[in-house]
Amino acid sequence: MGDDSRKSIVQALKNEWSLFLEAFQKEDQPSDGKSKISDSFEAGKLELLGLNEVRELMRALTDDRKKLNQKLESINKEIDLNTAKLESLRLLGTEDSEILKRIHELNDLGQSVANALGKVDRRLRAIRQKEDTLQQQTASI
């Protein structure tokens, strides 16, 4: 019974993470009012954005960054927990393949979240430079 419930919990976590990744990938293709801004950003047309649009995009990117950092922290905590379990199982000499497999899955997931975080960071840098430029232009007028 305990083994079945553990497998169902693991499957539920797998489903949750796959939904998270799917949702994150869909965020790259916005369907709300941000689509114009994101399309401009993706096309390299930041110069067409106004100061308010730049600030709105920066807020959205900062929120995305915060969420990704929280997910990465959660993954790291789960990896630490599973690593401790793995060490305990090895000391007892019992089967550890499921825990090891989960650690590898979490590492892969963490890598994809870290890559997404890098992408958001690059976007934030570019948008901050654009905001600085717009503020300088506004100050010189």
Domain ranges of the chain: 2-140
Pick the more confident residue, 109 or 44. 109
User: What token pair was written down for 22?
Assistant: 């799917």
- Residue 109's pLDDT is 92
What percent of the chain lies above the pLDDT cut of 70?
65
For 60-101, the DSSP string reads HHHHHHHHHHHHHHHHHHHHHHHHHHHHHHHHHT---HHHHH
Pick the more confident residue, 127 or 1. 127
State if pTM tops 0.95. no
